[in-house]
Amino acid sequence: MGFWSEYSVFLAQAVTIVLAIIVVVGFIAAVGQKNRREGHIEIKKLNDKFEDTKDQFEHELLSKEELKEKHKALKKEEKEKKKALKKEAKEQTSEQQEARNKRVFVIDFDGDVHASAVKSMREEISAVLTSAEPCDEVVVRLESPGGVVHGYGLAASQLDRIRKKDIPLTVCVDKVAASGGYMMACLANKIIAAPFAIVGSIGVVAQIPNIHKLLKKNDIDVELHTAGEYKRTLTVIGENTDEGREKFKQDLQDTHDLFKSHVSQYRPELAIDKVANGDIWYGTEALNNNLVDQVMTSDEYLMQLADEADVFEVKYEVKKSFQEKLGMAASMGITRSIDKLLTRFLDSRTQIR
């Protein structure tokens, strides 16, 4: 009996290891193929989503008699509206008849340190610009704590393409638009922030570790050769000089001045020297400091627009391969297992005994 018990444990371990290897190999293969696959634009009309949600909610809340009366009233309203539109169309000129509803195009940007989401956003903006006109509007739901200057500089330049076409641009911030995130947000004609959204951080930071003293203590020499006086100012393993530090600080200051100039160009009403100190503000405070134009959530704003305009969500999607789906499923499974173990551990520590 002991043999079969040990064999079962061994077999279970072996199967687990083999499955883990398959998942890892599949994930690596998927990552290698990811950059070679083409994506596509997906468009979803949010008006329909809002209406479906409303209908579903009413269906659960109202009685059969109330639903019947509501449908009857809606049919009557639609009939009268069609009649009015038909009459109006006869009285209108050909130019008036060509007029259409305002269209709102919604794009999401969820930024990391490298502003990786710019890859999808540039495709989405290119697609929107093929159809959008100055009578329309682009809404960007932006969330980012900032990151590298060149990444967010490119992301801001993508939003500037919308401004150059004279299409109204609105940026909605529900959680955070700081540093590079605000570099993007300030290009908008209108910035809307939730009451507790974090906005600002107009500053520049750089942090470089240095292990030269540790290497020197262990008699390890490091040689650094450059062509150009400022090719390398501060290093991780070499000995840094006061001259190099001063040059590095000057580069940071130059970047900060460029950042302030960029913000001032698009939000001239800002007291830039007051807000460009690296500090952050919450929604209402940001409004008082002219960092944003309105305090409201993106959901509220889009639902208001849907009453008068056709609202479309635009996404650039890359179809995931089977290997990627397998890798993501495995990753989610591991995450859930760790969460459960941590929860059980915390529960055991907080029990009343």
Q: Give me the active site residues, please.
A: 179, 231
How far is residue 212 CA from its own chain's centroid?
A: 39
Strand partners, 102: 309
Contacts of 194 (CB under 8 A, 6+ apart): 173, 174, 175, 283, 295, 296, 297, 298
Structure tokens at 301: 């704003």
What is the rounded CA–CA span in Å between residue 266 and residue 260?
10
CA–CA distance from 153 to each of 145, 146, 149, 183, 241 (Å)? 14, 11, 6, 8, 30
Beta bridge partners of 198: 176, 282
Question: Residue 3: helix, strand or coil by DSSP?
Answer: helix
Q: Give the containing element (helix H, strand E) for 256.
A: helix 242-266
